[in-house]
Amino acid sequence: MANPAILTVDDDPAVSRAVARDIRRRYGDRYRVVRASSGDEALAALREIKLRGDQVALLLADYRMPQMTGIQFLEAAMDLFPTARRVLLTAYADTEAAIDAINLVDLDHYLLKPWHPPEEKLYPVVDALLEAWQASPPATANEVRVVGHRWSAPSFAIRDFLARNLVPYRWLLADEPEGAQLLAAAGVAATEVPLVVTVDGTALVKPTETQLAARVGLATTPAADFYDLVVVGAGPAGLGAAVYGASEGLRTVLVERQATGGQAGQSSRIENYLGFPDGVSGAQLADRARRQALKFGAELLTARDVVGLEAVGATRLLRFSDGTSIASHTVVLATGVAYRQLTAPGLAELTGRGVFYGSASTEAPYCAGEDVYIVGGANSAGQAAVYFARHARRVHLLVRGPDLRRSMSHYLIEQIERIDNIEVHPYSEVVGGRGTDHLEELIICDNRGGGQRTVKASWLFVFIGAEPRTDWLAESVARDARGYILTGSELANGSRRPAGWSLPRDPYPLESSLPGVFAAGDVRAESIKRVASAVGEGAMVVSLAHQYLAAQ
């Protein structure tokens, strides 16, 4: 197989030669640089590369080109090479178009012309994008195949798990020829799906997430019995704790029940996170943090459900659902929160079959030409609305209050107002749903006294607040009435230390009622529910863990 390609396209011959020259000078020994003078010519080159079975690592396209703009080219190129990193070349006057492209084609970066000197303005950007591309296996290699039914909740759960863990897979319908052939070869009836066929040809029928994780290369077993730091939960707070813990020399293991990123990992575009002026998807941010933690030596265990925590002398013991356990000096609880379930009649049985909690980005391509309903008025709902607007005919955003201003960031409200196919419905609430094998109708109530209306709908995505995942902690640490973990000064009753506190000092700011056990991020009582603050708490908690260890 030939070296992967870096393709540049610009209709200005001087600019085209300059960018190809600068790219070839630094990357020509490892990548094949392909230059095109129009979008059509570039797409023809990509089709030829695709037919040869080669890969494309990076696409750099000029914004202003006749017949086909750079944005239009990148959108078309995504169908051929969806994992290639995408860069838009633009003049200063066109930066607004570049920002719009971030949402339209999931742009990775935009570069202002001229980019001289390239050592400062071009190469650092390209280095980072190529590193990210290399860390993500191409979709055509090491491909897992999933066979299932379109409206099967277990099939959706498998696809969602693989997608959120960045495992390349191909989705095949059981009633289509290729899917039926795989079922026949595995001796599996169409009623027994989902079927997962791994890279080595192993057939897994209705696998659990733990079984699936072990077969697709995700680590599920700890390499040691004892650690300095165990982090439970791989959202922004947990990832931050793992990066800082491992980078500062602590033997660190990160335990995640489902996938890295948590709720933030499902965000289509986070635009107010420090250091990412062009925005970054939750999946990209989580992937970078995951790779960063692994680089420093942290272990990452996936599909492991922690069900108990106890103190055994100075040791903190965490028990898994399979009966095994892991021990450490310190623990960080960063389990985040789960979206609250809608209790309206008819929806529970349709979960995973048209009713989804979170963005469920795997479903977006199937929404083409249809109406999508989103419930919620906070940033997660707004980000989902912007994302699904790229695919759906119309996106209906249902909010219980009068508008979005109370709970959504100003930049996101402005963005939604500029997108023609997003419609905001104030004072609206879903009070019922109907369907046979999948969601077919929603019943929506107007809380201003406007009565109820029934609409045809196959897609409902719910973002209605959250509940902490802390029931498994039982009485091991103090929690507030809603289940959030109490830490630091919140534990004290007046000037007294928390009941059962065994140390002569007061609890550290993020320390729970069990010494050496800390909480960070959304699961902590009174925390600020933002990605940046969660990452900050994850970093801060490692410093506190060092203080705890030094005093032992």
**C-alpha separations of 534 from 349, 391, 494 in Å:** 34, 31, 28
Task: Reduce the DSSP state of residue 392 to 3 states and report it.
Answer: strand
Number of domains, the chain: 4
Residues 332 and 473 occupy one common structural domain:
yes
Tokens linked to 139: 């979709």
Q: How many CB atoms lie within 10 A of CB 141?
A: 10
pLDDT, position 134: 87
pLDDT band per the 50, 70, 90 thresholds, residue 98: low
Sequence-distant (6+) residues with CB within 8 A of 30 are 3
For residue 172, the domain's CATH number is: 3.40.30.10
Percent residues over pLDDT 90 in the chain: 59
Q: What percent of the chain has pLDDT over 70?
A: 95
* 73-77 CB contacts, 8 Å cutoff, 24+ apart: 73/9, 73/39, 73/42, 73/43, 74/101, 74/105, 74/107, 75/104, 75/105, 76/39, 76/43, 77/42, 77/43, 77/46
332 and 364 belong to one structural domain: no
Q: Per-residue pLDDT tens for 425-434?
A: 999 999 999 9
Q: 427 versus 362: which is more confidently predicted? A: 427
CA dihedral 136, 142, 144, 145 (to 10 degrees): 120
Q: Which two tokens stand for residue 538?
A: 């994850």
Structural domain boundaries, residue 398: 348-464
φ and ψ at 105, to 5 degrees? Answer: -120, 20
**In which element (H, E) is residue 315 found?**
strand 315-320
With beta carbons less than 8 A apart as the criterion, state whether 461 and 501 touch: no
Tell me what the mean pLDDT of segment 171-183 comes to. 90
Pairing relation of β-strands 109-112 and 85-90? parallel
Residue appearing with tokens 């990209």: 284
Is 265 found in the same domain as 250? Answer: yes
Q: Does residue 220 lie in a domain region?
A: no
Rounded CA separation 239/332 (Å): 11
Same domain, 69 and 96: yes
Q: Are β-strands 203-205 and 252-256 bridged in parallel, bridged antiparallel, or unpaired?
A: unpaired
H-helix or E-strand spanning residue 283: helix 282-295
- Residue 419 pLDDT: 94
3-class SS shares of the chain: helix, strand, coil, % to 5: 35, 25, 40
Q: Where is the domain boundary, 94, 110, 135?
A: 135
Do both 267 and 319 map to the same domain? yes
Cα(430)–Cα(410) distance, integer angstroms: 25
Q: What is the pLDDT of residue 254?
A: 97
Q: Has residue 393 been placed in a domain?
A: yes
Q: Is residue 279 pLDDT above 80, yes or no?
A: no
Q: Where are the alpha helices (DSSP H) in 165-229?
A: 177-186, 209-215
Residues 187 and 240 in one domain: no
Greater confidence (238 vs 492) lies with 238
Verify that 29 and 94 share a domain, yes or no: yes
**Per-residue pLDDT band at 537 (split at 50, 70, 90):** very high
- Residue 137's pLDDT is 54
Q: What rounded mean pLDDT belongs to the chain?
A: 89
Find the mean pLDDT for residues 265-290: 79
Q: Please report the pLDDT score of residue 233 as a whole number.
A: 95
Both 116 and 165 in a single domain? no
* Residue among 524, 530, 457, 456 at smallest CA distance from 490: 524
Q: What is the mean pLDDT of residues 256-282?
A: 79
Look at residue 206 and tell me whether its pLDDT is greater than 50. yes
Residue 100 has pLDDT above 60, yes or no: yes
pLDDT at res. 103: 61
Reported as a pLDDT band with limits 50, 70 and 90, residue 29 is very high
Domain containing 14 — which CATH number? 3.40.50.2300
CB 251 within 8 A of CB 537: no
| Tokens, residue 399 | 């909010």
Residue 154 confidence (pLDDT): 94
On whether residue 479 sits in a domain, the answer given is yes
199 falls within a domain: yes
The answer to whether residue 221 sits within a structural domain is no
pLDDT of 268 > 80? The answer is no
453-457's contacts with Cβ under 8 Å and 24+ in sequence apart are: 455/371, 455/373, 456/371, 457/354, 457/371, 457/373, 457/433
The DSSP 8-state label assigned to residue 497 in this structure reads: P
Statement to judge: residues 111 and 32 lie in one domain: yes
What is the rounded end-to-end Cα distance, in angstroms, of the chain? 56
For residue 140, what pLDDT is reported?
45
On whether both 124 and 30 belong to a single domain, the answer is yes
**14 plus 96 within the same structural domain:** yes
Residue 18 CA to residue 5 CA, distance in Å, equals 17
pLDDT at position 420, please? 94
User: Is pLDDT of 64 > 70?
Assistant: yes
Note the residue count of the chain. Answer: 552
Average pLDDT in the 396-403 region?
94
Which residues are CB-contacts of 248 (< 8 A; sequence separation ≥ 6)? 542, 546
Q: Is the pLDDT of residue 86 over 70?
A: yes
366 belongs to a structural domain = yes
Q: How confident is residue 104, by pLDDT bands cut at 50, 70 and 90?
A: low
CATH value at residue 305: 3.50.50.60
Give me the DSSP letters along 81-150.
Answer: -TTSEEEEEE-GGGHHHHHHHHHHS---EEEESP--SHHHHTHHHHHHHHHHHHHS--TTSS-EEEEE-T
Q: 93, exposed or middle or buried, with CB in 10 Å at 0-12, 13-18, 19+? A: exposed
Task: Kindly state the average pLDDT of the residues 24-50.
Answer: 92
Residues 547 and 514 occupy one common structural domain = yes
483 burial level (CB within 10 Å; 0-12, 13-18, 19+): middle
- Residue 267 scores a pLDDT above 90: no
Q: Distance between CA 100 and CA 107 in Å, rounded?
A: 9
H/E run at residue 398: strand 394-398
Q: Would residue 280 count as lying in a domain? A: yes
Query: Is 66 domain-assigned?
Result: yes
Q: What is the mean pLDDT of residues 88-117?
A: 75
Q: Is the pLDDT of residue 387 over 80?
A: yes
Please tell me the predicted confidence (pLDDT) of residue 324: 95
Q: For residue 141, is pLDDT > 50?
A: no
Mean pLDDT of 528-544: 93
- Establish how many alpha carbons lie within 13 A of residue 290's alpha carbon, considering only the half-sphere containing its beta carbon: 27
Mean pLDDT, range 473-491, rounded to an integer: 92
Q: Taking residues 71-80, report their average pLDDT.
A: 85
Q: Final residue of a domain: which of 113, 135, 157?
A: 135
Task: Provide the pLDDT for residue 54.
Answer: 83
Q: Which of 416, 443, 464 is the last residue of a domain?
A: 464
pLDDT at residue 281, as a whole number: 77
Answer yes or no: is pLDDT of 33 > 70.
yes
Q: What is the mean pLDDT of residues 106-113?
A: 82
